[in-house]
């Protein structure tokens, strides 16, 4: 019977296969990745020691992580990079929130539940008001420019309307922005799965699996999954906006420190791991 360490290592190596190909395709070879992983292991060991009530000394961190004490000292002196989650209301953050509210707010949808074009200003729902309902710290023009740059919206200068081109926050352009979305989505999915495996939580983390399909069947399933996501998005996003608005009015800032993420994914490949079209 394999040990828990062997089981977890095999699991992690399998999870890392797509990431390894992503790294190689973008010029990151093993030595650079291995060197960068030292800091990840040190941070994890530091957090584990703190959570267990132990003092995270250099010796304790080195022993738990397997990283040499010299590296523990040197890497510990490096300044932490600014985390995107703590960067405040940037145009990208605001753009994602505006799209979410646009797709879930009834007066911004047509009779078929699709996002309708919004005027920049005027009576009734309009784009500038949508931005202002979330934050007054970022100019609506800056948010609109971000949506235009990412290929997610278009502006009709003749009518003064803004049209949303997609049914979710999925940038068509901007490699850095797409990477940031992947970073946070995959991180939180893996965090939920890891906590469930340890028996510490019972987060929702389910999937439907079927094999022995034709490529045409996988395409049809992809379409069905996309429709199911759109419905789930509306349901969860409506409640998320309601809870956000409630907490802004009724909960002290010091208690508004939690985040939640609900997502969906679809993947199809053949027996040799070649992605289906």
Rounded distance, CA 30 to CA 16, Å?
A: 12
Read out DSSP for 4-22? HHHHHHHHHHHHHHHHHHH
In a domain, 1, yes or no: yes
In a domain, 191, yes or no: no
What pLDDT, on the 0 to 100 scale, is given for residue 9? 94
What pLDDT, on the 0 to 100 scale, is given for residue 255? 95
Phi and psi angles of residue 181, each rounded to the nearest 5 degrees, phi first: -65, -45
Question: Which residues are 118's β-sheet partners?
Answer: 162
Listed range (16-30, 94-108, 162-176, 256-270) with the worst mean pLDDT: 162-176
pLDDT confidence tier of residue 73, bands split at 50, 70 and 90: confident
User: What rounded mean pLDDT belongs to the chain?
Assistant: 87
What pLDDT, on the 0 to 100 scale, is given for residue 91? 54
Compare 124 and 117 and report the one with higher pLDDT.
117
Containing structural domain, residue 148 = 91-164
| Model confidence pLDDT, tens digit, residues 77-88 | 554 544 444 444
In a domain, 147, yes or no: yes
What pLDDT, on the 0 to 100 scale, is given for residue 79? 44
What pLDDT, on the 0 to 100 scale, is given for residue 88? 47
Rounded distance, CA 275 to CA 107, Å?
A: 39
Q: Are 150 and 173 in contact (CB under 8 A)?
A: yes
What pLDDT, on the 0 to 100 scale, is given for residue 87? 42
Residues 143 and 69 placed together within one structural domain of the fold: no
What pLDDT, on the 0 to 100 scale, is given for residue 177? 78
Residues 3 and 76 placed together within one structural domain of the fold: yes
Compare 81 and 69 and report the one with higher pLDDT.
69
Of 135, 164, 193, the residue that ends a domain is 164
Residues 53 and 77 placed together within one structural domain of the fold: yes
What mean pLDDT comes out for the span 254-262?
A: 94
Of 56, 81, 106, the residue that ends a domain is 81
Q: Which helix (H) or strand (E) holds 31?
A: helix 30-51
Angle at 263 between CA 257 and CA 267, to 5 degrees: 150
Rounded distance, CA 264 to CA 206, Å?
A: 10
Token pair 């420019």: residue: 145
| Model confidence pLDDT, tens digit, residues 182-232 | 899 999 999 999 999 999 899 999 999 999 999 999 999 999 999 999 889
Rounded distance, CA 28 to CA 16, Å?
A: 14
In a domain, 149, yes or no: yes
In a domain, 16, yes or no: yes
In a domain, 170, yes or no: no
Q: What share of the chain is helix, strand, coil (3-state, %, to 5)?
A: 55, 5, 40
What mean pLDDT comes out for the span 145-160?
A: 88
Rounded distance, CA 100 to CA 181, Å?
A: 14
What mean pLDDT comes out for the span 104-125?
A: 87
Residues 70 and 10 placed together within one structural domain of the fold: yes
What pLDDT, on the 0 to 100 scale, is given for residue 81? 45
Of 23, 58, 81, the residue that ends a domain is 81
Q: Are 192 and 127 in contact (CB under 8 A)?
A: no
- Total domain count for the chain? 2
pLDDT at 253 over 90: yes
What mean pLDDT comes out for the span 105-126?
A: 87
| Model confidence pLDDT, tens digit, residues 9-37 | 999 999 999 999 999 988 999 999 999 99
- What percent of the chain lies above the pLDDT cut of 70? 92
Residue 97: CATH number of its domain: 1.10.10
pLDDT at 238 over 90: no
Listed range (55-64, 86-95, 144-153, 196-205) with the worst mean pLDDT: 86-95
């Amino acid at each position: 019977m394999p040990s828990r360490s062997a089981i977890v290592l095999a699991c992690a190596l399998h999870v890392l296969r797509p990431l390894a190909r992503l790294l190689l395709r973008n010029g990151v070879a093993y030595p650079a990745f291995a060197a960068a992983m030292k800091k990840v292991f040190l941070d994890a060991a530091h957090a584990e020691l703190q959570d267990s009530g132990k003092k995270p000394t250099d010796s304790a961190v080195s022993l738990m992580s397997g990283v040499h004490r010299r590296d523990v000292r040197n890497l510990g002196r490096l300044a932490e990079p600014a985390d995107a989650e703590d960067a405040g209301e940037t145009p990208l953050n605001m753009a994602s929130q505006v799209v979410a509210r646009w797709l879930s707010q009834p007066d911004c949808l047509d009779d078929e539940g699709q996002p309708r074009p919004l005027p920049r200003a005027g009576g009734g729902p309009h784009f500038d008001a949508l931005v202002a309902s979330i934050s007054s710290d970022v100019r609506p023009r800056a948010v609109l420019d971000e949506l235009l740059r990412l290929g997610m919206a278009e502006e009709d200068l003749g009518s003064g309307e803004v049209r949303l081109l997609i049914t979710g926050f999925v940038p068509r352009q901007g490699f850095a922005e797409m990477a940031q979305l992947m970073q946070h989505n995959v991180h939180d999915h893996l965090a939920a799965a890891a906590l469930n495996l340890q028996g510490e939580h019972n987060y929702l983390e389910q999937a439907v699996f079927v094999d022995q399909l034709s490529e045409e069947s996988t395409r049809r399933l992809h379409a069905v999954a996309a429709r199911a996501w759109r419905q789930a998005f509306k349901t969860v996003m409506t409640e998320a906006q309601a809870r956000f608005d409630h907490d802004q009015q009724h909960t002290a800032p010091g208690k508004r420190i939690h985040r939640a993420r609900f997502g969906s994914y679809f993947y199809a490949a053949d027996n040799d791991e070649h992605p289906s079209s």
